[in-house]
Amino acid sequence: MGDKDGKSSPSKKNKKGKDMDELKKEVPITEHKMSIEECCRKFNTDIVQGLTNAKAAEFLIRDGPNCLTPPPTTPEWIKFCRQLFGGFSILLWTGAILCFLAYAIQAATEDEPAGDNLYLGIVLSVVVVVTGCFSYFQEAKSSKIMESFKNMVPQQALVIREGEKMTINAEEVVAGDLVEVKGGDRIPADLRVVSAHGCKVDNSSLTGESEPQSRSPDCTHDNPLETRNVAFFSTNCVEGTARGIVVCTGDRTVMGRIATLTSGLESGKTPIAKEIEHFIHLITGVAVFLGITFFILAVCLGYTWLEAVIFLIGIIVANVPEGLLATVTVCLTLTAKRMAKKNCLVKNLEAVETLGSTSTICSDKTGTLTQNRMTVAHMWFDNQIHEADTTEDQSGASFDKTSASWAALARVAALCNRAVFKAGQDQLPILKRDTAGDASESALLKCIELSCGSVKQIREKNKKVAEIPFNSTNKYQLSVHETEDPNDNRYLLVMKGAPERILDRCTTIIIQGKEQPMDEEMKESFQNAYMELGGLGERVLGFCHLLMPEDQYPKGFAFDCDDVNFTTESLCFVGLMSMIDPPRAAVPDAVGKCRSAGIKVIMVTGDHPITAKAIAKGVGIISEGNETVEDIASRLNIPVSQVNPRDAKACVIHGTDLKELSQDQMDDILRNHTEIVFARTSPQQKLIIVEGCQRLGAIVAVTGDGVNDSPALKKADIGVAMGISGSDVSKQAADMILLDDNFASIVTGVEEGRLIFDNLKKSIAYTLTSNIPEITPFLLFIIVNIPLPLGTITILCIDLGTDMVPAISLAYEAAESDIMKRQPRNPTRDKLVNERLISIAYGQIGMIQALGGFFSYFVILAENGFLPSILVGIRLNWDDRACNDLEDSYGQQWTYEQRKIVEFTCHTAFFVSIVVVQWADVIVCKTRRNSVFQQGMKNKILIFGLFEETALAAFLSYTPGMDVALRMFPLKPSWWFCAVPYSVLIFVYDEIRKLLIRRNPGGKWLSLSLCITFRPESCHEICICNFTHKSLIDTKTRKLSNASLFSSPTLSSYRLGGKGDILLSDGYRLYSYPYIFHLFLPPFIPSLARHVFRCPTP
């Protein structure tokens, strides 16, 4: 990290950059290494009395209040201006200014300047302002929802000052204060713990550890984040009490530093903004090229300089697609709305598309991929590992509950457990109920409640007589109960704790409900089970019990828990239970879909590597069959150093190792491993990982919920925060919020993003096409001196009127191919608007459209007596007000007014012709590769658009008064049909073009859309194959991996809870993590049947 900072800081110039680098470094707290006395001395405080009030007041003034500086908010008017002058608007503003300039020139030189340029300038400005307001209000709406997330409740803190306990506002806490926290409190500042009683804190939002961490006064680690004697600002105390000296307050706390780092980061432009910029460059290039060419031509043809300049400006402005800004905004808004309906709230309109371009997702584990609650995952009894149902909705399979051993285990787990459900939640499902007590005890409580009924009743039947709570020296918890049977006067001793400690105290073991002596074989199988469960990243607890002999412990025996007067040896081992924070149900499916969409999913977590790896395997981030370097080493029994790192597709990297990596090594890892897990990462490291991915050209999405994720969320191209469990800081930093915390919504986001990108392409192609029939009349007017075929007003009617609805309707177009089966777009190669699109729109379709327009123009003039031959060069006389006897081809004389009516009728006809050819264009633009006959006409909005467009054209032409208002005249019915052949021509031409594209694969389109085909021999093979995510690799090479070789009977028995090893051809065990099956097979298989096989649903 050091060299990273060293390299980046010189480029950043000022002090701010330096501060940021400073913040990126690790936490500077050192107090945890000091003794309590040193600590007191440092802060001028007393370990008993606390600070004096005077000192506290002094410190408060010196350090400021203990709260986070809110991130600098941009004033509303700046936000508004950003909408007004950002991106696409610039193009329109330039156009407007040029228009005004042209009008000014005309006004200065001519007596009666034509108002066209003035009107055009005004209309352009109005369009920009209206669209700007529209998108401003759109974003204001989502920021309002953001406001509602803010937690306004002021925090209280219990401090000791001058020896008195007092409750003050958490903001008034100062460094050196002696603070007391108890279970349920939020920690008011960074504390150096001086005394603690069973205190546990939940650091998950800071470090990503799901399990509560115990706190004690001793320094256990050099790293302040790891040591036990520091409690952090805004984390929660789960249970117990603790007293500590405040070492940092406000922005200087660990949380504060992260928040400051986050608000100091600047996120780059969104991909769509870059695309629009590229588009503007292209359009400007075309406009300037055309403008200059015709400027030179005009000068050569003998126009004056000023006239030529006005032409130049006119041509440049005519190239500006007036309606496109509104179209793009509306399309993005529609998608944002659609996503909001699916619980994705997008804060910034442009971020709508970003997920679609995403090529890497860095996901936090705790709370994002997992449920952030400990759950019993496995049990070991009867010398067998059983798995519990860990799904949120209890849809997974269950295990055999008939064994007497299970009854014994459940009884021990229920009795030797201090967790209780909080009152008044009887109607809630068990898993949703709140509990009071330790996380793992709560997990046990819920597990027993689910499988054996009311724990309360069990406890009532077995009255507790004595109890020794858990402590870290004993590593066990013990209680003595009366038995259920009133005639049985024996006492029941139950104990749980660290498995090895429990085993040491046991001489017998229960198998199938019968006590058997604990032999070596049993011990070994215990060890195996313990190792296996531990290897899954699960926290394992051992359970044992003893029915105390009545002769030694008669009824009424006084159990003394402080000075233990009863046996705690030679007990009977009952079983093991292991707990984990299980993955959310929808995650594996979502990860699989991301994979098949070509998106790399990286896990970046603060949690321990073993847990991280287990979850990564569980959700498919490390797919089955892929091994890490360590796995290969242990399989081949060789040292890690001998393994070629290139053999391992997966890798798990520890935060401490990450610190020592150079930038090149980092790039190397990110480039060469497809499946990466970063464990024990600090928030700063998360940021560095995101930067690393971006350096390699990836568009990075980060998902997370904790404060520790927020710098990465901000830095990412798109940060996705969790709406329910997410912290405020993370929501502030994110661009998108999943309101239902469902990771699977990301898949929706990707899908919608890709769809809108494709559809925007179509919209733009459609809108740009009509630019050609709009410019060419003006060009011919200049070059060959014909009466103007199409006026400014009619151009605006097309761009802002008839073209709008069809262009927007293309946003509703369904995807042409399965967009989730192709690779993410390459931001350097796949542009929103490329030269190809421009050449099709301008050069091919646009030209045919212009021909259609001119055809109807010449038809009308000819019907009125002006044959095309006479038109060339007629302009000067035609536009001469004084000339009232202009003769047509038949010798009729035309006054100026009469001529103008014919001219405006021509404008109207040209306009209607463009509408007619745009019918074909919108149908043609619907698809980019498929034929319309393949795609169908299912887009209702598009059909609506066709109707409305035509109706609008009819209204504009026929409404009385239009001749005065917009100078548009009624058309004879036959004139409507002039352009129809050209419309047909466009359709046929483009269908042939697409046919050729389809016939000659190898174009960009084909390489983009991966052909996913499977061998059809057996569905099962493929289910598993895909399920393990190997399918991606396999389908590309079209080979099924060895994963396909196990047979379905084994699989089904396994899934139903039976015990059978699934063996692969080369002898590996496929699943050492069996619960994974339960988690995501059910949702996966139906989707497979749809996605891959396309077989008829049964």
Partner 1 sequence: LSLPLSVSLALSVSLSAVADPSAEDGKKEKKEVDPFVYDYHSLRICGLVFGVVLFALGILLILSKSSYFSRKCRCSSNQEKKPKAPGDEEATAETLIVSKAKEPEPEPEPEAKAEN
Give me the active site residues, please: 364
Where does this chain touch partner 1 (CB under 8 A) — which range of 447-455, 576-584, 837-845, 969-977? 969-977
Where does this chain touch partner 1 (CB under 8 A) — which range of 89-97, 424-432, 560-568, 964-972? 964-972
Where does this chain touch partner 1 (CB under 8 A) — which range of 217-225, 531-539, 948-956, 989-997? 948-956
- Give me the least distance between CB of 1087 and partner 1, in Å please: 10
- Give me the least distance between CB of 532 and partner 1, in Å please: 23
Tokens of 617: 């395997």
Task: Return the residue of 959, 984, 1060, 1065 that touches partner 1, per CB under 8 A.
Answer: 959
Cα separation, 805 vs 374, in Å, equals 52
Element (DSSP H or E) covering residue 88: helix 88-109
- Give me the least distance between CB of 1083 and partner 1, in Å please: 8
Nearest CB to partner 1, comparing residues 18 and 401 = 401
Contact 666, 166 (CB under 8 A): no
Contact 742, 634 (CB under 8 A): no
CB neighbourhood size of 817 (10 A): 17
Q: Does residue 1060 touch partner 1 according to CB under 8 A?
A: no
- Tokens 């090895």 correspond to what residue? 500
Task: Return the residue of 1010, 1040, 1043, 1062 that touches partner 1, per CB under 8 A.
Answer: 1010
Task: Return the residue of 1017, 1058, 1060, 1065 that touches partner 1, per CB under 8 A.
Answer: 1017
Q: Does residue 453 touch partner 1 according to CB under 8 A?
A: no
Cα separation, 794 vs 804, in Å, equals 14
> Which residues neighbour 507 within 8 Å (Cβ) at sequence distance 6 or greater?
517, 518, 569, 570, 571, 572
Task: Return the residue of 940, 1036, 1039, 1059 that touches partner 1, per CB under 8 A.
Answer: 940
Cα separation, 393 vs 412, in Å, equals 26
Which residues of 837-970 form beta strands (DSSP E)? 886-887, 893-894
Tokens of 237: 């105390």
Closest CA to 686 of 1082, 997, 265: 265
CA atoms within 13 A on the CB side of 583: 34
* Per-residue contact flags (x/-) with partner 1 for residues 762 to 801, judged by CB under 8 A: ----------------------------------------
Task: Return the residue of 281, 501, 938, 1036 that touches partner 1, per CB under 8 A.
Answer: 938
Cα separation, 335 vs 329, in Å, equals 10
Site for partner 1 in 818-857 (CB under 8 A): 818, 821-822
Nearest CB to partner 1, comparing residues 714 and 1030 = 1030
- Give me the least distance between CB of 958 and partner 1, in Å please: 3
> Which residues neighbour 814 within 8 Å (Cβ) at sequence distance 6 or greater?
935, 938, 939
Q: Does residue 1065 touch partner 1 according to CB under 8 A?
A: no
Site for partner 1 in 383-442 (CB under 8 A): 395-397
Cα separation, 417 vs 313, in Å, equals 82
Nearest CB to partner 1, comparing residues 73 and 892 = 892
The CA-CA-CA angle for residues 887, 891, 895, to 5°, reads: 35
Nearest CB to partner 1, comparing residues 984 and 1095 = 1095
- Give me the least distance between CB of 978 and partner 1, in Å please: 16
CB neighbourhood size of 218 (10 A): 11
Where does this chain touch partner 1 (CB under 8 A) — which range of 459-467, 511-519, 550-558, 808-816? 808-816
Nearest CB to partner 1, comparing residues 350 and 1021 = 1021
Cα separation, 861 vs 879, in Å, equals 15
Q: Does residue 1098 touch partner 1 according to CB under 8 A?
A: yes
Task: Return the residue of 54, 166, 724, 814 that touches partner 1, per CB under 8 A.
Answer: 814
- Give me the least distance between CB of 1032 and partner 1, in Å please: 15
Nearest CB to partner 1, comparing residues 41 and 972 = 972
> Three-state secondary structure along 239-299?
EEEEEEEEEECHHHCHHHHHHHHHHHCCCCCCHHHHHHHHHHHHHHHHHHHHHHHHHHHHH
Task: Return the residue of 110, 1018, 1036, 1065 that touches partner 1, per CB under 8 A.
Answer: 1018
Site for partner 1 in 915-934 (CB under 8 A): 930, 934
Q: Does residue 965 touch partner 1 according to CB under 8 A?
A: no
The two beta strands, 675-679 and 600-604, are parallel
| Binding footprint of partner 1, residue count (CB under 8 A) | 67
CA atoms within 13 A on the CB side of 1029: 30
Tokens of 53: 């009030």
Where does this chain touch partner 1 (CB under 8 A) — which range of 245-253, 853-861, 879-887, 1019-1027? 1019-1027
The CA-CA-CA angle for residues 918, 922, 927, to 5°, reads: 150
Task: Return the residue of 509, 690, 1023, 1025 that touches partner 1, per CB under 8 A.
Answer: 1023
Q: Does residue 906 touch partner 1 according to CB under 8 A?
A: no
Site for partner 1 in 1035-1054 (CB under 8 A): 1048, 1052
Give the C-alpha distances (Å, rounded to integers) separating 90 from 64, 540, 770, 798, 983.
Answer: 44, 62, 21, 21, 34
Site for partner 1 in 552-581 (CB under 8 A): none
Where does this chain touch partner 1 (CB under 8 A) — which range of 29-37, 182-190, 366-374, 941-949? 941-949
Relative orientation angle of helices 846-863 and 745-769, to the nearest 10 degrees: 40
Torsion sign across C-alpha atoms 706, 709, 710, 716: negative
Q: Does residue 869 touch partner 1 according to CB under 8 A?
A: no
Q: Does residue 501 touch partner 1 according to CB under 8 A?
A: no
- Give me the least distance between CB of 738 and partner 1, in Å please: 22
Cα separation, 625 vs 618, in Å, equals 13
Q: Does residue 810 touch partner 1 according to CB under 8 A?
A: no
- Give me the least distance between CB of 276 and partner 1, in Å please: 28
Contact 579, 440 (CB under 8 A): yes
Q: Does residue 527 touch partner 1 according to CB under 8 A?
A: no
- Give me the least distance between CB of 731 and partner 1, in Å please: 32
The two beta strands, 650-654 and 156-161, are unpaired
Residue 166 DSSP SS3: strand
Closest CA to 242 of 272, 197, 274: 197
* Per-residue contact flags (x/-) with partner 1 for residues 1076 to 1095, judged by CB under 8 A: --x--xx--xx-xxxx-xxx
Q: Does residue 1096 touch partner 1 according to CB under 8 A?
A: yes
Q: Does residue 955 touch partner 1 according to CB under 8 A?
A: yes
Cα separation, 284 vs 464, in Å, equals 83
Where does this chain touch partner 1 (CB under 8 A) — which range of 196-204, 643-651, 756-764, 954-962? 954-962
Sequence letter at residue 1053: S
Closest CA to 582 of 1011, 53, 1076: 1076
Which residues of 112-250 form beta strands (DSSP E)? 156-161, 164-169, 178-182, 190-202, 213-214, 230-231, 236-248
Q: Does residue 891 touch partner 1 according to CB under 8 A?
A: no
Q: Does residue 489 touch partner 1 according to CB under 8 A?
A: no
Cα separation, 801 vs 799, in Å, equals 6
Site for partner 1 in 113-142 (CB under 8 A): none
Backbone φ and ψ for 372, nearest 5 degrees, come out as: 55, 45
Q: Does residue 1056 touch partner 1 according to CB under 8 A?
A: yes
Nearest CB to partner 1, comparing residues 1017 and 1061 = 1017
For partner 1, the binding residues (CB under 8 A) are 395-397, 814-818, 821-822, 930, 934-936, 938, 940-941, 943-944, 947-948, 950-955, 957-960, 970-973, 1006, 1009-1014, 1016-1020, 1023, 1048, 1052, 1055-1056, 1078, 1081-1082, 1085-1086, 1088-1091, 1093-1098
